[in-house]
């Protein structure tokens, strides 16, 4: 199987997003049912020297600062959490440019013969959640491009029958340390990158996300 988490959703009320992620302002968000690579996606981050978290929109597909072409981002929508700290594409971001990628569901497909059945995976609480992310800034054009990637881990017992990987869903109590640019203890950070508890999640078959609004 591939490692990719390639589609997800964010339909939550913006006030609920602000509450969940400790944002000072209510973000301007519209419901999105089929968020796809290369699109602009909502991300929470904390910049060095700042105390307030900000929600910003970054291009999904991380473009490392040394890349010659933005096309590399199309192959970097995900990063394996087990190796991101050492891979050239992701290691600098892992140490100081971590973020929370805001979602409330993600899709995986189960292939049976020629048929692919999509499933939507969410929290039982129906609340928005944070997928562990990394972000970068690329400067080789007039306007710099800021981009991000989703970290993945082994699938939990709920997702495993469909796919062998899933996004890292962080616990709320880990948000502060994950966002803190001053936290560069790789071992401590790796402890956060585990499969989320299957008992807190739901999985249900759905129609093709491509037929839904973006």
Superfamily of domain 8-211: SOS response associated peptidase-like (3.90.1680.10)
What's the rounded mean pLDDT across residues 91-100? 96
Q: Which residues contact 28 (CB under 8 A, 6 or more apart)?
A: 14
At 9 the three-state DSSP class reads strand
Q: Which residues contact 191 (CB under 8 A, 6 or more apart)?
A: none
Q: Are 175 and 21 in contact (CB under 8 A)?
A: yes
Q: Are 131 and 100 in contact (CB under 8 A)?
A: yes
Dihedrals phi, psi of 206, to nearest 5 degrees: -140, 170
- The verdict on whether 173 is a catalytic residue reads no
pLDDT at 1: 37
Instruction: State the catalytic residue, choosing from 20, 99, 108, 148.
Output: 108
- The verdict on whether 5 is a catalytic residue reads yes
pLDDT digits (tens, 9 = 90+) for 9-60: 999 999 999 999 999 999 999 999 999 999 999 999 999 888 899 999 999 9
Instruction: State the catalytic residue, choosing from 5, 99, 120, 148.
Output: 5
Distance of CA 46 to the CA centre of its chain: 16
Q: Are 94 and 85 in contact (CB under 8 A)?
A: yes
pTM beyond 0.85: the answer is yes
d(CA 167, CA 164): 11
Residue 111 — pLDDT band, cuts 50, 70, 90? confident
What's the rounded mean pLDDT across residues 136-143? 86
What's the rounded mean pLDDT across residues 100-126? 94
What's the rounded mean pLDDT across residues 66-73? 91
d(CA 124, CA 90): 32
Q: What burial letters (b/e) apply to 47-82, b meaning 16+ CB within 10 Å?
A: eeeeeebebbebbbbbbbeebeebebbeebbbbebe
pLDDT at 214: 61
Q: Using the predicted structure, report yes or no on whether residue 83 has a pLDDT greater than 80.
A: yes
For 199, the token pair is 């008992």
Q: Could you tell me which residues are beta bridge partners of residue 130?
A: 102
Q: Using the predicted structure, report yes or no on whether residue 3 has a pLDDT greater than 60.
A: no
Residue 122 — pLDDT band, cuts 50, 70, 90? very high
* Mean pLDDT lowest among 41-45, 62-66, 113-117, 199-203: 113-117
% of the chain with per-residue pLDDT over 90: 85
């Amino acid at each position: 199987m591939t490692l990719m988490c390639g589609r997800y959703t964010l339909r939550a009320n913006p006030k609920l997003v602000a509450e969940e992620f400790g944002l000072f302002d209510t973000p301007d968000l519209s419901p999105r049912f089929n968020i796809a690579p290369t699109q602009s996606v909502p991300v929470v981050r904390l910049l060095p020297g700042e105390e307030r978290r900000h929600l910003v929109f970054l291009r999904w597909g991380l473009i490392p600062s040394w890349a010659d072409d933005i096309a590399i981002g199309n192959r970097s929508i995900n990063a394996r959490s087990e190796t991101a700290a050492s891979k050239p594409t992701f290691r600098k971001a892992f140490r100081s440019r971590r973020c929370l990628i805001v979602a409330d569901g993600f899709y995986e497909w189960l292939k049976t013969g020629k048929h692919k059945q999509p499933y939507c995976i969410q929290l039982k609480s129906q609340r928005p959640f944070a997928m562990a992310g990394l972000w970068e800034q690329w400067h080789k054009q007039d306007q710099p491009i800021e981009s991000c990637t989703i970290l993945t881990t082994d699938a939990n017992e709920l997702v495993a029958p469909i796919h062998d990987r899933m996004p890292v869903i962080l616990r709320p109590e880990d948000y502060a340390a994950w966002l803190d640019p001053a936290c560069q203890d790789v071992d401590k950070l790796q402890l956060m990158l585990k499969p989320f508890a299957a008992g807190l999640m739901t999985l249900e078959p759905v129609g093709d996300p491509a037929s839904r609004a973006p």
